[in-house]
Amino acid sequence: MAAMARRPGRDLLAGLTVAIVALPLALGFGISSGLGAAAGLATAVIAGTVAAFFGGSGLQVSGPTGAMTVVLVPIVHEHGASGVLTVGVMAGLLLIALALARAGRYMALVPAPVVEGFTLGIACVIGLQQIPAALGVPTPEGEKVTVVAWRAVLDFAADPGGWAPAIAAGVVATMLVGARWRPTVPFSLLAVAGATVVVELTGIEASRIGELPAGLPAPSLSFLDPAALGSLLAPAVAVAALAGLESLLSAAVADGMSVNHRHDPDRELFGQGLANVFAPMFGGVPATGAIARTAVNVRSGARSRLAALAHAVILGLIVFTAAGLVARIPLAALAGVLLATAIRMVEVGSVVAMLRSTRGDAVVLALTAVATLALDLVQAVILGLIVAGALALRAVARDVRLEAMPLRPDLPGDHTDEEHALLAEHIVAYRLDGPLFFAAAHRFLLQLSEVADVSVVILRMSRVTTVDASGALVLADAIGRLRRRGITVYVSGIRDGHHQPLNALGVIADLDEAGHVFATTPQAIAAARDHLHRTGVLAAGPA
């Protein structure tokens, strides 16, 4: 808070800039969610204020976002507006619980291809959602955004006409060209204002936002229906997961764009939780940290929370003083803003680079993007995480190696050079490198089972990094197979932390009882040599 008081000028200017950018987005996302423009403004004002005060990032700007809109549309269809408000409160409480459980740090474990695919899929969904308004046709019935967009195109093709496509295209062109020409100028607001003025002066027929309340409603929890809480739990979990993920990603983006700023992930979850508890009380939809608005905030010179607070206050003033003007904005113009936003969300260079990175990265990115478009966002992220985790396990499993190691005469207690050749014909030492766990164990068993024409196998385990129950059981199976073939097994170099699973599952109990477990490999080689002498496999030689 001290930073807010020291140099307020730059923060206030940054807040004004963000508010100008946020106004059309808040209106557009409110309409896209199904709760209307007023809900979008209420979210930007209330959630923006609460998250700025209590969140873990001093540069984060919160409000309604396209990703959240995608999740809310099916909830509106199934449970209505009251269901969305209830889900918002429940999701807020879940986020607070996650914050208290200190779960924020684990969000950083989401792989980059999942995030990139998620963003690409969201951009496609946001763009498709705008097709009916951009074409000036009523939104067709349907839950899948691809189906709704296609039906809208067919409706327009059956009766083409109207100025909506021209208005939307003009806004898109103005924003995209303007952003390349003067990145610091808020062309989204200029394009919307220009389209509104043109429509007003020419009398063009165009659907408008419509009447807005001149202020925020009084806080209320009258929408809560205790009987519906059970059926809304799953949507609330999805909303909480998305809010936490998107907010922490946005906060991380802000950290990367600034010099010395670092966010507190657990506090950020707490702030977003409070924001989502309070916003529905004023008719607002669930909110998250907004990556695009946060980036504008940082680029505009924000240094403290004052900028995000100023953005929310300015939007509040607009709600109270300019609701009549905002109501005249054409819906096609807002559709153009969101279409341009969807296009700008996709970093083509980053996507191409990740597709070229590795085959696994390309698969995860593409699968997450397609799942986002075909399923829902949370399912897409879960699917992406599962596939990424499976590919990671596969890569780690490939690192486990079973290498035959030559028995060097310079090892203490080993045979002389003359006896080494004969000794090597009967004893093989294998060094296990890497993790011995469920993903790698089967491969290890196949390799070790191919050992032939030896009397003794020494398993060197000093370089095994991980042993789990599956790996331990497979090791026991491999040892059992070797012993049933009459091969004597010695084990050396077991790390301290690996004794527990090996002992608990009885893997080395018999070997330990027989005296075949050693701390070092030279000790195991000496024991193997003595064993071969005793059994007559080798002629007696010097000890």
Is the Cβ–Cβ distance between 293 and 21 less than 8 Å?
Answer: yes
Please write the tens of the pLDDT for every residue from 216-232: 888 999 998 888 888 89
Task: Give mean pLDDT, residues 114-138.
Answer: 81
CA distance 12 to 297: 10
Backbone angles phi, psi at 90, to 5 degrees: -65, -40
DSSP codes joined into one string, 93-106: HHHHHHHHTT-GGG
DSSP codes of every residue in 254-298:
HHHHSSS----HHHHHHHHHHHHHHGGGGTPPP-EE-HHHHHHHH
Residues 74, 78, 80, 85: what is their CA dihedral angle, to the nearest 10 degrees?
-60
d(CA 43, CA 319): 12
Average pLDDT, the chain: 79
Contact 491, 522 (CB under 8 A): no
Residue 339, CA atoms < 13 Å, CB-side half-sphere: 26
- Cα 198 to Cα 96, 137, 193: the distances in Å are 46, 20, 9
Instruction: Say which residue, 51 or 338, is predicted with more confidence.
Output: 51
Q: What is the dihedral of CA 134, 140, 142, 144, to 10 degrees?
A: -20
Q: Which residue has the higher pLDDT, 84 or 398?
A: 84
Cβ(522)–Cβ(411) below 8 Å? yes
Tokens of 59: 């540069």
pLDDT value of residue 539: 55
More confident residue, 210 or 75: 75
Band the pLDDT of 55: cuts 50, 70, 90. very high
Task: Please tell me the predicted confidence (pLDDT) of residue 419.
Answer: 46
Tell me the per-residue pLDDT of 135-156, one tens digit each, with 9 for 90 and over: 888 878 766 778 888 888 998 8
User: Token pair for residue 529?
Assistant: 């040599």
Which tens digits make up the pLDDT trace of 393-429?
665 555 555 555 555 544 444 444 544 554 555 778 8
Q: What percent of the chain has pLDDT over 90?
A: 13
Digit-coded pLDDT (tens) for 251-279: 877 776 676 778 888 999 999 999 999 99
